[in-house]
Chain A
């Protein structure tokens, strides 16, 4: 049941897998920030780059698109809301709303940026062990005073560990309900409630079991963390990402 989880680590030996988690964190944050105000040409560049990154991370683009189909629906919704809520040259006018050219443009830009952030985020999670993400975050938080860096890192590690659990659970529950003909009910609110309640309950039950299993194996904040080590290829990647960000901001 687990093959199709979007947000999980995919073990492999690609270049992206071998990069230092700390570098990858910085890359993710800087690309996301640089992409905030990106316009057309920059977005195309970033998209090409995202495509290359996902290819290198050995995930098939097609399966990724299928996995994030609901997110894409959400983006389309953003486009629509934007296009009817922005003032400007009117393209289509109906009784209730009018779609403007500026609105469509804004909507597409915003959704495209969001989509890119998600794609890069997925590439990051797919190629970085959760324990490395944890250790990387702890490394960055360590010099900051008043922040319990080990606690925060543990929390992040647990979240990364849990997202796939919730997704799996959602899919299993949805399948079980499909098998009993929930698709005949057209009311989306009804379906959401019928999916949501058991999902929350079973997620908590699974969380409980996982917590017990971790406790039984002596889990605590103090544990031997993986050694993070950086090399020439990390700095090389940093140069590439740096130019990409500059390029994105300048364009």
Chain B
């Protein structure tokens, strides 16, 4: 069963830049897929097609059997997105309000919203900070709040765009912990990064992008040796010849 099907996708921006240059991909339900590639390779552009923030010029994207272009609202509910810049993702004036933003947009009832917010904040360990102003949170806490904000919408697929950028070591471990917990609860995870070290040990599949194309796609152990020729730093384990080390242990 495929969670996401991308067929023959092309996207060209208004200024003529080609963002996506013909991508076909099937992503299986429940996988943790790592999307790697240098800056400007089109990772963000591809991810934004998955929930209809961008629409294809050619080709199509199908989420849970329904083309995104036909039902953007459904795609946005099914595909939760954690953006690269945690600050600009905050829309609420308190931690609680921010987490409630999504379910309010789904027009849910008050009781249901509160229930979902409480359980999502509890999951990411922010329940005690419900009334805090989000801008005062640490980097790791902000990312966890962003995760809580999409958990309240109960997505089946969660997409992370550079989730570790500008995080300190404890921040990386906190966020990685949440990502793995989501994966273990059965959700499909797609994670874009140019920094393989932190997640490669947990990936089911590695996709390497370059200039808007998929250039490698397969098991991490098989293709990780090729990443450096596409401008991505290979994990240490490749150089030392050891096993991938998890950042969680």
Sampled A-B contacts (28; CB under 8 Å): A1-B135, A3-B136, A10-B133, A11-B132, A131-B97, A161-B91, A206-B88, A209-B88, A209-B89, A210-B89, A212-B48, A213-B88, A216-B76, A216-B81, A216-B83, A217-B76, A218-B73, A218-B77, A218-B102, A218-B153, A219-B101, A223-B104, A223-B106, A224-B103, A224-B106, A224-B107, A224-B109, A225-B104
Once A129-B97, A209-B83, A224-B104 are accepted as A-B contacts, the answer to whether A217 and B136 lie under 8 Å apart by CB is: no
Q: Which residues of B in the span 90-115 have a Cβ within 8 Å of any Cβ on A?
A: 90-91, 93-94, 97, 101-110, 113
Residues of chain B at interface, number, CB under 8 A: 35
Cβ of B53 < 8 Å from any Cβ of A? yes
Q: Which residues of A in the span 1-45 have a Cβ within 8 Å of any Cβ on B?
A: 1-3, 8-11
Cβ of B172 < 8 Å from any Cβ of A? no
Which A residue's beta carbon lies closest to that of B48? A212
Give A206 to B51 CA distance when docked, in angstroms: 20
Once A9-B93, A129-B97 are accepted as A-B contacts, the answer to whether A220 and B105 lie under 8 Å apart by CB is: yes
Q: Which residues of B in the span 175-197 have a Cβ within 8 Å of any Cβ on A?
A: none
Which A residue's beta carbon lies closest to that of B86? A213
Selected contact of A217 from candidates B93, B97, B105, B107, CB within 8 Å: B105
A8/B93 in contact, CB under 8 A: yes
Across the interface, which residues of A come within 8 angstroms of B53, CB to CB?
Answer: 212, 215-216
> Residue-by-residue, is A166-190 near B (CB-CB < 8 Å gives 1, otherwise 0)?
0000000000000000000000000
Interface residues in chain B, defined as those with a beta carbon under 8 Å from any beta carbon in chain A: 48, 51, 53, 73, 76-77, 81, 83, 85, 88-91, 93-94, 97, 101-110, 113, 131-133, 135-136, 149-150, 153
Across the interface, which residues of B come within 8 angstroms of A1, CB to CB?
Answer: 135
Across the interface, which residues of B come within 8 angstroms of A130, CB to CB?
Answer: 93
A210/B88 in contact, CB under 8 A: yes
Give A224 to B152 CA distance when docked, in angstroms: 14
The smallest C-beta distance from B214 to any residue of chain A, in angstroms, reads 23
Cβ of A222 < 8 Å from any Cβ of B? yes
B153/A213 in contact, CB under 8 A: no
B51/A216 in contact, CB under 8 A: yes
B85/A209 in contact, CB under 8 A: yes
Give A206 to B132 CA distance when docked, in angstroms: 22
Cβ of A214 < 8 Å from any Cβ of B? yes
Once A129-B97, A215-B53, A223-B105 are accepted as A-B contacts, the answer to whether A2 and B136 lie under 8 Å apart by CB is: yes
Across the interface, which residues of A come within 8 angstroms of B90, CB to CB?
Answer: 213
